[in-house]
């Protein structure tokens, strides 16, 4: 009788083992990604993130964004997604312990370190999805007709990389601690750490240890003056994410793999290189350029002549010349006397010497016929520029406009606002207290001006009257209306109005 014995398994059965393991990892990663994206905290975080982004981007920067500001605006909201991912991926890692299925998983082809890799891949997919949202927000800003400048890839990567770092920390924490309260506790620690380094005496190097560094100012600076180490910070975040991810693989049984050990060491080095490089501060070249742009902007600008007006702008802002010319021509068309053809220079100016941490005011120009325009546009900036134009047409210089405390203020405000689509609304928007009664400061491109209660009363009444009739009177009485020390009562009389009842005392 012959006994048949089974031979050894075919060679293909052994060689297909690693391939089968990685195929299982990818299958598990798809499963974990699906579960992670459907978790309620992640869904809520994405809903809030997308809703807030859409709501804000519709009207951000009044339709005139500078892309070097728009890229930084993409960084804060993804942190909400990152915190939700940290919490949910940590719970996913602990799922097998929570349901006591570890002993069943140990007999499968997917070892613990491979299961950890699958969780990390699910985090990477969510970070990639966040990157798509960031790109969509930035492209939306870039496609607006009034957009200028250019963004930084390093700034745009900060949001998605923050999600990757937080998710990797959630996986690492799940492999180090089995306690379900560890992830919420880590969230508290991270928030405390963020507040601590933000309030650390303004030290630049400590601020850049956080995931995102928000430096915001109302004064938009040219890209070359920002001085932010965005590329080094992206490298730092990449190293941080890789370090946390590879450490999670190491503690899950991957320490036997030489590739993982070498990769972990390389990731730590990458983190240190990024951390050191981003802490160097603003370079001497950038500091010198900030001073040059602030003190002698004419050396950095390109000028274009349009009739009697010369428009000088920094290179990225040349496209806004048409917008400035439209406002200036509207104001000049209402003026009389020599103001109709007086040579003017519209010069873009910026105060950059204090960087992004300060909203320093720009001093009024002292050269005759020079009008300041800033790097921001749209919204309140338009009537502010109109006020600056009207002031120079009447007093000759911006410095002289700032010292004005007489009835000429009525003519300045009427010239600036009468040609606007909604003069009364712009009157309120250009005043510091958003009012149209009483005395108030008036916003301008440089130092604020001042309106008395009597001047406000006269201007309000003039803006309610037909523009053509008032324009004819202004041109006919131009010399008297623009004479120094003319009283508000006299201006009202010249324009056919009763004397104002309110007080006429400057602030």
Amino acid 9: pLDDT: 46
Of 429, 397, 489, nearest in space to 413 by CA: 429
Bridge partner residues of 369 (DSSP): none
d(CA 54, CA 50): 6
Give pLDDT tens digits for 14-30. Answer: 444 555 577 878 888 99
Q: Which pTM value belongs to this model?
A: 0.88
d(CA 339, CA 392): 9
Amino acid 189: pLDDT: 73
Amino acid 284: pLDDT: 92
d(CA 107, CA 51): 45
Amino acid 184: pLDDT: 76
Of 370, 504, 391, 367, nearest in space to 444 by CA: 391
Distances, alpha carbon 385 to alpha carbons 193, 244, 321, in Å: 43, 51, 13
Amino acid 10: pLDDT: 42
Give pLDDT tens digits for 31-59. Answer: 999 999 999 999 999 999 999 999 999 99
Amino acid 55: pLDDT: 95
Q: What are phi and psi of 81, to 5 degrees?
A: -65, -40
In the predicted model, residues of the chain with pLDDT beneath 70 are 1-20, 96-110, 183, 192-204, 255, 507
Amino acid 84: pLDDT: 94
Amino acid 69: pLDDT: 93
């Amino acid at each position: 009788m012959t006994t048949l014995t089974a031979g050894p398994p075919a060679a293909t059965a052994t060689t297909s083992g690693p391939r089968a393991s990685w195929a299982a990892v990818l299958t598990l990663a798809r499963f974990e990604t699906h579960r992670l994206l459907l978790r309620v905290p992640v869904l809520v975080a994405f809903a809030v993130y997308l809703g807030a982004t859409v709501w804000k981007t519709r009207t951000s920067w009044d339709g005139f964004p500078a892309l070097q500001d728009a890229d930084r605006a993409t960084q804060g909201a993804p942190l909400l997604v990152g915190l939700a991912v940290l919490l949910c991926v940590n719970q996913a890692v602990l799922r097998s312990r929570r349901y006591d299925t570890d002993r069943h998983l140990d007999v499968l082809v997917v070892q613990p370190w491979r299961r950890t890799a699958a969780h990390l891949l699910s985090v990477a997919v969510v970070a990639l999805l966040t990157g798509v949202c960031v790109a969509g927000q930035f492209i939306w800003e870039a496609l607006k007709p009034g957009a200028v400048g250019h963004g930084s890839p390093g700034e745009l990567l900060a949001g998605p990389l923050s999600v990757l770092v937080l998710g990797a920390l959630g996986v690492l924490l799940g492999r180090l601690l089995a306690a379900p309260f560890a992830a919420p506790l880590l969230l508290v620690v991270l928030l405390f750490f963020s507040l601590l380094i933000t309030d650390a005496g303004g030290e630049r190097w400590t601020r850049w240890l956080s995931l995102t560094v928000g430096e915001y100012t109302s004064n938009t600076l040219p890209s070359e003056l920002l001085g932010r180490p965005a590329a080094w910070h992206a490298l730092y975040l990449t190293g941080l994410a890789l370090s946390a991810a590879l450490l999670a693989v190491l503690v899950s049984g991957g320490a036997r793999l030489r590739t993982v050990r070498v990769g972990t060491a390389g990731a730590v080095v990458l983190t240190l290189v990024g951390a050191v490089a981003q802490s160097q501060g603003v370079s001497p070249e950038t500091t010198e350029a900030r001073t040059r742009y602030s003190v002698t902007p004419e050396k950095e600008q390109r000028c274009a002549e349009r009739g009697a007006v010369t428009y000088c702008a920094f290179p990225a802002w040349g496209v806004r010349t048409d917008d400035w010319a439209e406002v200036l021509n509207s104001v000049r068309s209402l003026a009389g006397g020599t103001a109709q053809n007086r040579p003017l220079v519209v010069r873009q100016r910026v105060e950059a010497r204090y960087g992004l941490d300060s909203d320093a005011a720009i001093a009024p120009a002292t050269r005759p016929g020079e009008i300041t325009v800033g790097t921001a546009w749209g919204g309140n900036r338009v009537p502010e520029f109109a006020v600056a134009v009207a002031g120079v047409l009447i007093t000759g210089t911006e410095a002289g406009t700032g010292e004005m405390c007489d009835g000429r203020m009525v003519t300045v405000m009427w010239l600036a606002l009468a040609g606007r689509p909604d003069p009364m609304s712009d009157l309120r928007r250009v005043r510091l207290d958003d009012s149209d009664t009483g005395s108030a400061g008036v916003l301008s491109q440089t130092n604020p001006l001042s309106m008395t209660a009597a001047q406000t009363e006269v201007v309000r009444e003039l803006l309610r009257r037909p523009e053509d009739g008032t324009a004819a009177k202004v041109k006919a009485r131009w010399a008297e209306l623009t004479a120094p020390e003319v009283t508000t009562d006299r201006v009202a009389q010249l324009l056919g109005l009763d004397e104002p009842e309110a007080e006429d005392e400057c602030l």
